[in-house]
Amino acid sequence: MRIAFIGDIVGAPGRKMIEEHLKKIRAEYGVDFVIANYENASHGFGLTLKNANELVACGIDVMSGGNHTWDKKDILPLFETHELLRPHNYPQGVPGTGCKVYEVAGEKLAVLNLMGHYSMPFTDNAFRCATESVEALHEQGIKNIFIDFHAEATSEKRALMMLLQGKVSAIVGTHTHVGTDDLQIASSTGYLSDIGLSGCRDNVIGMDEKVPLKQFLTGMKGHFEIPKKCKKILQIVLFDFEEGACTFGLKLKVFDDGRVIKTEAWKD
């Protein structure tokens, strides 16, 4: 099977790039299943019903969340009506789930959404949750497992890779909005510390630079806004899974000026 993953979709610019390019990418690269992180999709904070439907119509099969999952009140009923995840290591009793299994290209694919600890909201231990969840999936005979690890620290993301390499098909980090240059396949597990945002690329993590600069210069906080006009990017990674092993990885950076930069995973 060939899956694709899109990291943090930041507001209307990110949704626009997905609308313009995702169906073409699915067709050109023979993508069987698309996962995307929704937590910044609605004006940078959370997800509305309108934007959820818009993204599904663009060709996204399931969406994962993070620390902004709960920012929009629309989110609660969406766990019942849409293929939506939230970090699986939220405490028991929190609405929704962070792990679902799908039929893809004649095989089963598990999608697991986790959230890290450094500078993040309180959750249960992500590493114990990951270990228990993966063991439970293996007991069910599910080999193809993809993890979106929504975390601030690259050390946490790398540590999860060292914990689970050879046991899951791929781990990709989200949250920082800044893409890393370490796409690789090691012990049959695909890995990327952070895929980077899809949205505005000429400001501060997809947001207008005025408020972040004021905060850095003076310590005074404000409400982040997404620019009405900006240069845009879509960042998407493709993986091939065979019997649980990742055999191929490719990241595409699609720019609104027509450029496409391709980076193939190195193998160890």
Q: State the helix-helix crossing angle for 126-139 and 154-164, rounded to 10 degrees.
A: 30
- For the four alpha carbons of 120, 41, 265 and 98, in that order, the dihedral sign comes to positive
Question: Active-site residue 68, yes or no?
Answer: yes
| Tokens 């937590």 belong to residue | 39
Are 226 and 200 within 8 A, CB to CB?
yes
* CA gap 57, 40 in Å, rounded: 18
* CA gap 17, 30 in Å, rounded: 19
In whole angstroms, what separates CA 210 from the centre of its chain?
27
What one-letter code names the amino acid at 16?
K
Are 180 and 193 within 8 A, CB to CB?
yes
The one catalytic residue in 68, 82, 88, 150 is 68
Q: How many CA atoms lie within 13 A of 186 on its CB side?
A: 14
- Residues acting as catalytic residues: 68
